Amino acid sequence: MLRWLTIIVSTALIVAVVLVARYDKLHDTEGKGYNIKCTQPDDPAATMNNLVCTAEHSQKAESGEYDPMWWHVFFAWPEGITALLLLLTLVAISSQTYYTRRAAEASLKSAKATEDNVSAFVSSQGPQIWLTGHGNPTKDVLDSTSRVQMEMFNKGPTTADDVTYEVWTEVLPSENDDFTPNASYWRCPYPMSVYPSQSPVILNCPLNRPLGEDEKTQIRKLQRRVCIRIKVMYRDIFTADDRYANFGYWVGPDGLGFLPRYNDRGTGKDKKSQNPN
């Protein structure tokens, strides 16, 4: 669009200059006029009727001074056309600056979109740690063992390295309450690797105390909740930062429910509460 506009304006300007030059030539725009000189013969007897007058062409005669049209100022050579060219040059520079800025902004947006796509691709290729219940959590927590077992597995295409985990288990009034310093806490002392498609790793989450009959009745009636938080830390081959994933569950009569406070993942240090003990 800008290229064709430049061609059209340039062509129109050249045509205008040629036409103005032709007009000046045909009309002698340098100025037209005549000087009239009258002389009396040397004969003293001559009268006014005997005056001898001659008309001479004069380029600067005041009686015939040329008054050009208003548009002549813009297209006359060289003053008018020079000023017009300067004006058009400024317009072209401003237009080019505008389109250059738009191109730069489009390049930045494209680079940002590419960065986001690469980040999404890398994230999809990393390890994906998941947890699910093992066996019958409701039965396990209410029998003499007073524990819950969970399965940890990797659904991603690459290995999770240096995997460790922390476990909090406590009986709380509701799933909205946070863990207290009385929670049973345990941390895995040795790192491991969890490979894609390998058999699940069984995590043991004990209460470390027996449940009384009244407490079991309250749990069955959903008057109290057996709550479990598991925090998994690991690394992958794509970043040097540690990764973590939080999992929160409560044990109900028909299986596991989710804790609203602990179900997220991220990179670096977890901002949520650490070991409450």
List, for residues 125-139, the tens digit of each pLDDT value.
889 999 999 999 989
- Identify the bridge partners of residue 228 per DSSP, sorted by sequence position: 169, 249
The confidence score (pLDDT) of residue 42 equals 64
User: What's the pLDDT at 197?
Assistant: 85
Is residue 33 packed enough to be buried (19+ CB in 10 Å), middle (13-18) or exposed (0-12)?
middle
The reply to whether 46 and 176 lie within a common domain is no
Query: 72 in a domain, yes or no?
Result: yes
Same domain for 26 and 80: yes
What's the token pair of residue 21?
């030059």
- In sequence order, what are the residues at sequence separation of 6 or more whose Cβ sits closer than 8 angstroms to the Cβ of residue 238? 122, 125, 126
For residues 134 and 80, membership in a common domain is answered with no
- pLDDT value of position 12: 66
Both 83 and 203 in one domain: the answer is: no
How many other CB atoms are found less than 10 A from the CB of residue 177?
Answer: 13
Range of the domain at 60: 2-100
Q: Are residues 151 and 191 in the same domain?
A: yes
The answer on 154 and 69 residing in a single domain is: no
State whether 172 and 239 are in the same domain.
yes
Looking at the fold, whether 24 and 145 belong to one and the same domain comes out as: no
Q: Are residues 134 and 263 in the same domain?
A: yes
Of 162, 140, 159, which is closest to residue 149 (Cα–Cα)? 140
CATH of the domain at 234: 2.60.40
pTM: 0.59
For 83, other C-beta atoms within 10 Å of its C-beta total: 12
Please report whether residue 166 resides in a domain.
Answer: yes
Cα separation, 94 vs 80, whole angstroms: 22
Give yes or no: residues 192 and 85 share one domain.
no
* Ranges in the chain, pLDDT < 50: 29-31, 60-64
Residue 115 covered by a domain? no
One domain, residues 136 and 261 = yes
Domain count of the chain? 2
- What pLDDT is stored for residue 61 in this prediction? 46
pLDDT of residue 64: 47
Query: Could you tell me if residue 58 is inside a domain?
Result: yes
